[in-house]
Amino acid sequence: MLQITNLHANVGEKPILKGLTLSLNAGEIHAIMGPNGAGKSTLGYVLSGRPGYEVTEGSVTFDGNDLLDLEPHERAAAGLFLGFQYPVEIPGVSNVQFLREALNAQRKNRGEAPLSGAEFLKVAREQAGALGMDMDMLKRPVNVGFSGGEKKRNEMVQMGIINPALAILDETDSGLDIDALRMVGDGINRIMRKPDKAVLLITHYQRLLDYVKPDFVHVLDNGRITRTGGAELALELERDGYKELAA
Amino acid sequence: MNRNAPTRHDEAWRYSDISAVEATWPLAAPESIIVPAGGNFARTILQDTGSIHQLDIAIGKGATTAIHVLNIGGDYGRVELNITLHEGADFKLGAVQIGGGTQNLEIITTVTHAEPKATSSQIVRSVLAGTATGTYLGKVAVARDAQLTDSVQSVKAMLLDRSATANAKPELEIYADDVKCAHGCAIGELDAMGLFYLQARGIAPADAKKLMLQAFVAGVFDDAADEDILIESALKKLGELV
* Contact between chains at B215 and A92 (C-beta distance less than 8 A): yes
The number of folded domains in chain A is: 1
CATH assignment of the domain containing A198: 3.40.50.300
Q: Answer whether residue B42 is part of any domain.
A: yes
Buried b (16+ CB within 10 A) or exposed e, B100-117: beebbbbbbbbbbbbbbb
The number of folded domains in chain B is: 1
What does the mean pLDDT of chain A come to?
A: 91
B199 vs A: CB within 8 A: yes
Taking the C-alpha atoms of residue B9 and residue A112, their distance in angstroms, rounded to an integer, is 60
Mean pLDDT for B112-123 is 98
pLDDT lower than 70: segments of chain A: 244-247
The percent of residues above 70 in pLDDT, for chain B, comes to 99
Q: What ipTM, to 2 d.p.?
A: 0.93
pLDDT of residue A245: 66
* Contact between chains at B218 and A92 (C-beta distance less than 8 A): yes
* Spatial CA neighbour of A157 closest among A87, A109, A76: A87
Beta strands in A84-171 (DSSP E): 90-94, 141-142, 166-170
The residue range of the domain holding A72 is: 2-92+166-246
Mean pLDDT for B49-73 is 97
pLDDT bin (cut points 50, 70, 90) of residue B1 is low
Q: Answer whether residue A150 is part of any domain.
A: no
Give the pLDDT confidence of B144-194 residue by residue, as tens digits. Answer: 999 999 999 999 999 999 999 999 999 999 999 999 999 999 999 999 999
Handedness of CA A156, A162, A165, A168 (dihedral sign): negative
| Contact residues, chain A to chain B, C-beta under 8 Å | 48-51, 71-73, 75-77, 82, 84, 87-93, 97-99, 101-103, 105-106, 109, 141, 158, 162
Q: Answer whether residue B147 is part of any domain.
A: yes
Q: Answer whether residue A55 is part of any domain.
A: yes
Q: Answer whether residue B4 is part of any domain.
A: no
C-beta of residue A245 within 8 angstroms of C-beta of residue A239: no
pLDDT of residue B61: 98
* Spatial CA neighbour of B222 closest among B20, B21, B66: B66
Helices (H), A163-230: 178-192, 208-211
Q: Answer whether residue A234 is part of any domain.
A: yes
Question: Longest C-alpha distance within chain A, in Å?
Answer: 57
Which residue on chain B is closest to A49 by alpha carbon?
B200
C-beta of residue B105 within 8 angstroms of C-beta of residue B71: yes
Q: What are phi and psi of A182, to 5 degrees?
A: -65, -40
The residue range of the domain holding B173 is: 11-189
Q: Answer whether residue A182 is part of any domain.
A: yes
The DSSP letter of residue A85 is S
* Contact between chains at B196 and A51 (C-beta distance less than 8 A): yes
Q: Which residues of B touch A73 (CB under 8 A)?
A: 199-200, 202-205, 208
Give the pLDDT confidence of A66-109 residue by residue, as tens digits. Answer: 999 999 999 999 999 999 999 999 988 889 989 999 999 889 88
Q: Answer whether residue A207 is part of any domain.
A: yes
CA distance A112 to chain B (A): 14
B154 vs A: CB within 8 A: no
Q: Answer whether residue A200 is part of any domain.
A: yes
Taking the C-alpha atoms of residue B13 and residue B11, their distance in angstroms, rounded to an integer, is 5
B229 vs A: CB within 8 A: no
* Contact between chains at B215 and A91 (C-beta distance less than 8 A): yes
Q: Which residues of B touch A88 (CB under 8 A)?
A: 191, 193-194, 196-197
CA distances from A73 to A113, B110, B201, B228 (A): 18, 46, 7, 30
H/E stretch holding A153 reads helix A148-162
Q: Answer whether residue A134 is part of any domain.
A: no
B175 vs A: CB within 8 A: no
Taking the C-alpha atoms of residue A50 and residue B74, their distance in angstroms, rounded to an integer, is 37
* Contact between chains at B201 and A93 (C-beta distance less than 8 A): no
What does the mean pLDDT of chain B come to?
A: 95
Q: Which residues of A touch B215 (CB under 8 A)?
A: 90-93, 141
Cβ-based contacts under 8 A for chains A and B: 77
Q: Answer whether residue B2 is part of any domain.
A: no
Taking the C-alpha atoms of residue B60 and residue B57, their distance in angstroms, rounded to an integer, is 10
Q: Answer whether residue B161 is part of any domain.
A: yes
Residues 6+ apart with CB under 8 A from A37: none
CA distances from B149 to B122, B144, B145, B152 (A): 14, 11, 10, 10
Q: Which residues of A touch B204 (CB under 8 A)?
A: 71, 73, 105
DSSP-based three-state secondary structure for A224: strand
* Contact between chains at B202 and A49 (C-beta distance less than 8 A): no
Which residue on chain B is closest to A78 by alpha carbon?
B202
Which residue on chain A is closest to B202 by alpha carbon?
A73
Taking the C-alpha atoms of residue B18 and residue B5, their distance in angstroms, rounded to an integer, is 8
H/E stretch holding A220 reads strand A216-221
Q: How many residues does chain B have?
A: 242
Q: Answer whether residue A151 is part of any domain.
A: no
Mean pLDDT for B12-34 is 94
